[in-house]
A = this chain, B = another copy of it.
Amino acid sequence: MSATTAEGHTLTIGEVAAATGVAASAIRFYERQGLLTSHRTSGNQRRYDEFAPCMVRICRVAQRVGLTVQEVVALFDAMPEQPTADDWQGLTDALVAEAERRIADLRRTLDDLTSDGPLCALPGVDDV
C-alpha cells in the first residue's frame, strides 16, 4: 500500500511532504533549485535525510520574510557539510535579522505614509 515506511533515517518524498505540509511537487521543485539533495533507491526513488523537513520549513519561513528560493539556497550553501547546532542557530539568527530589517523598512514606509500629512489626500483641492 505504501512505499512510505522509513528505514534508518531516510525519508520518502511523501514523508517529507507530510512532515512539512508542503506538496511533493514543491519539494521536487526545491530539489531542482538546489535547496535539497537526495539519494536514490535502486528503483530511482528519492530518499531524503533527516535534515530535509527542517530545511523545507526554514525555506518557507524565509520566503515569508521575502527571500527567494535562490537566496535560501545561497544561505544553505554557506553552511558546512555537517552543520552543527550552532550553524543552524546562525542560520535562524540570520533569518530573524533579515526579517527584522524588512519589517523595520516597511514600518518606516508606513510611518511616512501616516506622518507626511495627507501624502495621498486631495491634491490642491478646495475648488470642487
Query: A50 within 8 Å of B by Cβ?
Result: yes
Give per-residue flags for A24-61: 1 if the beta carbon is below 8 A from chain B beta carbons, else 0: 00000000000000000000000000110111011001
Q: Count the copies.
A: 2
Contact B50 A113 (CB under 8 A): no
Of the A-B pairs whose beta carbons lie under 8 Å apart in the complex, a sample of 28, sorted by A's number, is A9-B123, A9-B124, A50-B122, A50-B125, A51-B123, A53-B123, A54-B120, A54-B123, A55-B120, A57-B119, A57-B120, A61-B109, A61-B110, A61-B113, A64-B106, A82-B128, A85-B118, A88-B120, A88-B121, A88-B122, A89-B121, A91-B120, A92-B114, A92-B119, A92-B120, A96-B110, A99-B106, A99-B110
